[in-house]
């Protein structure tokens, strides 16, 4: 029916208007020129696109996810047989466009939602791409293949990992891994010892690049082979002492195929970890136990600061993965003991040893903010009921040390100093309740405050030592990313770290589930024209 307008001119109803628009859109789609075919024949761009999809494994992706083989067959049939009619050409065109757009989305932003693997990263809108618009722009450029590759993450580490992936793939069939290393005669192999595994050990270290090409296997465990083992240990987060023991032997037995998957997972994480969201950033890589502060100038990344950190315990208090803006620095901070720590650790200890209250500089704080500096059973019970809290005054025993870097977040995680600096020398440093302890707090404060020249090193140290809590609001927020990568490339060398939180395992499971779902979809929705 027609509905009258206020002027008396009839107009289409809302439903009929939508139907008319839909018919118009379908007609336009039917008459639109194919993107990939010209008079029923594949274009050069179509061949470039399929070639790019076929090489998706170079970026740790699965060519099967993009129907690369089937599309190649369909294009070959269209090129060699009779030209495709309009309907067949449209179907093949749509299938190739859908595959390329899926590839672009996966390459740029990743294949899984990071929240499925315990990460809460927010990807800024400018960093996202619309695959359809990106594809149209790429087709308008001089080289489609180059334009498609540019969709990959721009982080320098990504290109390094891509090269490492290719290299470790070449090792998958290397004869050095066809048989396992023999058992050691004792608990460890030390300088001057003999071992039947020396030839195979030498062969593996040469293949991995930890020994020069052409290195001959020695009769005993000599200095040359020790240097190769030290280089290997350095790259696998082991103490580089040159002694071949249980831990080093276990890492030597990890196959190149397993390392390939580890690199693929690291590349996937880079697609959704916001590492280039601001000109200056702080990034903590949890499995590496390292913090880096860097700046970006004219598209180039410069690391200004690197230091060891201590992170949350793997079994109980894992440090969560997220990104937030640092907004405050607290000098000589109070430590508000988290309720879980107070109930499970502090209260039992105070009841066993009342002197611990004074030794640690504790005090009770009521809900109204009233402070009590004496220990009593009444206050302990109030803490247990959640009616009071325990906090630690600034001082040499304060768990936060003398400085705290605050980036407000739902998990109440922050960076801070520690009164126990000796822990930074440990090989494995998942020792905290979740917060992140930094080895060089003064250097970190200087980086954070580099645009505030009045905050000299002397003034920073004085504020840290004053013993009276004070808070400084930053003029500009500074992004902090708590990331997780068990593979990185440093100085051209590939380094591997333990998956201590199991996040790689979870990501691997999520990706395999997605691959299975896509395989089922391919079975029900074959590529048009593929034989």
Distances in whole angstroms, Cα of residue 140 to Cα of each of 102, 143, 173, 204, 500? 19, 8, 41, 47, 46
pLDDT at 426: 92
Same domain, 235 and 129: no
Tell me whether residue 520 is in a domain: no
The DSSP letter of residue 125 is G
pLDDT at 200: 97
pLDDT at 88: 87
Same domain, 38 and 99: yes
pLDDT at 525: 74
Strands (E), 161-299: 280-285, 290-297
Same domain, 315 and 234: no
Same domain, 360 and 416: no
Same domain, 328 and 339: no
> Distance between the two ends of the chain, CA-based, in angstroms?
49
Distances in whole angstroms, Cα of residue 337 to Cα of each of 57, 201, 347, 464? 48, 50, 11, 20
**Which residues span the domain enclosing 474?**
275-334+394-484
Kindly state the tokens that stand for 121: 């990263």
pLDDT at 142: 86
Number of domains composing the chain = 4
Mean pLDDT by 10 residues, the chain (531 residues): 38 43 40 78 93 97 95 92 86 94 94 86 70 89 89 93 97 94 91 94 97 95 96 96 94 97 97 90 97 92 96 94 96 92 93 94 93 94 93 91 95 93 93 96 98 96 94 96 96 96 95 89 74 61
Tell me whether residue 489 is in a domain: no
Q: Is 172 helix (H, G, I), strand (E, B) or coil?
A: coil
Same domain, 77 and 134: yes
Same domain, 477 and 404: yes
Q: Is 38 helix (H, G, I), strand (E, B) or coil?
A: strand
Kindly state the tokens that stand for 409: 């977040």
Same domain, 146 and 33: yes
- CATH number, domain of 207, equals 1.10.101.10
With residue 424 as reference, give the H or E element that holds it.
Answer: none
Same domain, 212 and 361: no
pLDDT at 531: 61
Tell me whether residue 527 is in a domain: no
Tell me whether residue 110 is in a domain: yes
Tell me whether residue 492 is in a domain: no
């Amino acid at each position: 029916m027609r509905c009258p307008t206020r002027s008396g001119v009839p107009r289409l109803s809302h439903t009929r208007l939508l139907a008319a628009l839909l018919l118009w859109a379908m007609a336009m789609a039917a008459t639109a020129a194919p993107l990939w075919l010209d008079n029923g024949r594949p274009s050069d761009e179509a061949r470039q696109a399929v070639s790019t999809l076929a090489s998706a494994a170079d970026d740790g992706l699965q060519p099967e996810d993009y129907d690369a083989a089937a599309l190649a067959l369909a294009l070959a049939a269209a090129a060699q047989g009779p030209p495709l009619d309009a309907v067949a050409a449209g179907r093949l065109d749509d299938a190739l466009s859908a595959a390329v757009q899926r590839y672009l989305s996966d390459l740029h932003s990743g294949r899984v939602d990071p929240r499925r693997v315990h990460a809460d990263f927010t990807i800024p809108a400018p960093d996202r791409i619309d695959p359809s618009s990106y594809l149209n722009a790429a087709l308008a450029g001089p080289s489609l293949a180059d334009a498609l590759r540019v969709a990959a993450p721009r982080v320098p580490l990504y290109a390094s990992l891509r090269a490492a992936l290719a290299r470790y793939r070449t090792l998958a069939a290397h004869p050095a891994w066809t048989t396992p290393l023999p058992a050691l005669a004792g608990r460890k192999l030390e300088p001057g010892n003999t071992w039947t595994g020396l030839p195979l050990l030498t062969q593996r270290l040469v293949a991995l690049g930890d020994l020069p090409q052409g290195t001959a296997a020695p009769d005993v465990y000599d200095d040359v082979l020790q240097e190769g083992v030290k280089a290997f240990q350095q790259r696998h987060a082991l103490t580089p002492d040159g002694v071949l023991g249980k831990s080093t032997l276990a890492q030597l037995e990890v196959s190149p195929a397993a390392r390939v998957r580890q690199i693929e997972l690291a590349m996937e994480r880079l697609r959704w970890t916001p590492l280039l969201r601001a000109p200056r950033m702080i990034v903590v890589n949890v499995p590496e136990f390292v913090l880096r502060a860097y700046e970006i100038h004219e598209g180039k990344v410069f690391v200004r600061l690197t230091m060891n950190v201590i992170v949350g315990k793997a079994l109980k208090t894992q440090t969560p993965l997220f990104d937030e803006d640092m907004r405050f620095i607290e000098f000589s901070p109070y430590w508000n003991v988290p309720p879980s720590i107070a109930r499970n650790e502090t209260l039992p200890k105070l009841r066993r040893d009342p002197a611990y209250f004074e030794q640690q500089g504790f005090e009770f704080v009521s809900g109204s903010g009233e402070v009590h500096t004496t220990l009593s059973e009444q206050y302990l019970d109030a803490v247990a009921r959640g009616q009071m809290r325990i906090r630690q005054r600034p001082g040499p025993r304060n768990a936060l040390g003398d400085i705290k870097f605050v980036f407000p977040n739902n998990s109440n995680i922050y960076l801070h100093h520690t009164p126990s600096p000796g822990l930074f020398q440990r090989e494995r440093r998942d020792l905290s309740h979740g917060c992140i302890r930094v080895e060089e707090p003064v250097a970190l404060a200087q980086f954070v405050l580099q645009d505030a020249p009045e905050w000299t090193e002397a003034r920073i140290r004085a504020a840290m030592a004053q013993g009276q809590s004070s808070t400084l609001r930053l003029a500009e927020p500074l992004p902090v990313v708590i990331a997780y990568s068990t593979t990185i490339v440093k100085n051209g060398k590939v380094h591997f770290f333990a998956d201590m939180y199991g996040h790689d395992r979870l990501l691997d499971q999520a990706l395999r589930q997605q691959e299975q779902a896509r395989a089922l979809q391919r079975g029900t929705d074959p590529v048009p024209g593929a034989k």
